[in-house]
Structure 1
Amino acid sequence: MTESDLIIREIKKSEISLLKKFTYTAIYVPQGAQKPHKSIVELPELKIYYENFGTKADDICLVAETGGKLVGAVWTRIIDDYAHIDENTPSLAIAVEEEYRSKGIGVRLLLEILRKLKEAEFSAVSLSVQKENFAVKLYEKAGFKVVKQNGGELVMVKTLGKV
């Protein structure tokens, strides 16, 4: 896969059902730990990331496509989740298929959704991440700051400037 093979675009309505799979992909599994059963995404605290996605005006999703295959997604919505800050700040979720990680896809997805959120005039975006997740460095580079720590989990917020 080359950089020019990768397309970042808005999700199509026909693809929204894939957010359930990407919610599972987004779950951080520490080195050597066993992956949870796929049914974990049926838990209410995870279902809110994908259930009825696209029905609220603040639901935004971008996907990474290469060779006709969706290999990553980033999406935001205002929900009462682990990263909830307030009723005006969307929570961000991001997932890249394992075999496509460390190729810059996550960076491109993140930067593009931050641009879209600015255009939509959101003042901030939040996310929740495990402290030992390598993605913490990506979020810090993108300007996210830790605002809360709960055990091994960090809540990070990025203030968005004007477009």
Structure 2
Amino acid sequence: MADFTIRPAGVGDGSFLADMVVEAANWHGTSTRPRPAVLSDPVYRNYIAGWPRPADRGFVADDPQQRPVGAAWYRLLAADVPAHGFVAAGVPELIIGVTPVWRAQGVGRALLQALTDAAHAAGFSRIALSVEHGNHAESLYRSEGFAVVASRGGRDTMVRRLG
């Protein structure tokens, strides 16, 4: 496993979370959506606007020089708010992104585990996420207990029961 640390995401991490939304949107690397286009999309914008809100929780992975290389966080969204992985009110939606050079080095798994532990400690019984078809991260999510509950528009919504 690569040398990195995990820390809670704070107020000053909003810009980096936006970077990770862009990474998540461009996971395939074949054709990239420019940052302004991703961040102006209402769904992606809902994942970071006003970070942090009171119920938001997140973690950032830092490299040995304390530069952020990945992040995972969750938000509670209402049914009428555009989102890719909305399941129900009161079920947080997880967002995760890792810079390309740090992928497949345990960063995503460590972030995912820290975040699901935090969601469980906060009293949530489930957590949801959305993954595009073909994204290799789906195997990570399955290995961490997530299961597909819906599929539409080239995306799977996955849920993990906590506890």
Q: Distance in 1 between matches of 2:117 and 2:99?
A: 23
Write out the 4+ residue segments of structure 1 that deviate beyond 3 Å after TM superposition: 28-31
Name the residue aligned to 1:30: 28
Q: Does 1:20 align with 2:18?
A: yes
Q: 2:4 — aligned with what?
A: 6
Instruction: Tell me the equivalent position of 1:104.
Output: 106
**Counterpart selection for 2:51 from 44, 50, 53:** 53
Q: Is the 8 A contact 1:107 1:138 kept in 2?
A: yes
- RMSD value over aligned CA atoms? 1.4
- TM-fit CA distance, 1:84: 0.6
Matched residues in 2 for 1:14 and 1:140: separation? 31
Q: Distance in 2 between matches of 1:114 and 1:11?
A: 14
Q: CA deviation at 1:29?
A: 4.1
User: Which residue in the other structure is 1:134 paired with?
Assistant: 136
State the match for 2:69 in structure 1. Answer: 71
Contact 1:72 1:106 in 2 (8 A): yes
TM-score (ref. length: structure 2): 0.91
Deviation for aligned residue 1:145: 0.6
From the superposition, tell whether residues 28 and 154 of structure 1 become closer, same or farther in structure 2 (CA, over 3 Å): farther
Q: Bigger shift: 40-49 or 121-130?
A: 40-49
> Percent of aligned positions with the same letter in both sequences?
29
Correspondence 1:76-87 to 2 at 5 A: 76-79=74-77, 80=81, 81-87=83-89
* Pairs aligned (count): 157
Q: Does structure 1 retain, via aligned residues, the 8 Å contact 2:26–2:33?
A: no
Would the aligned equivalents of 1:26 and 1:95 in 2 still touch at CA under 8 Å? yes
Partner amino acid for 1:74? A
SS of the aligned residue for 1:26 comes to: helix
Residue number in structure 1 paired with 2:93: 91
Letter in 2 for 1:129: V
In structure 2, the gaps of 5 or more residues are none
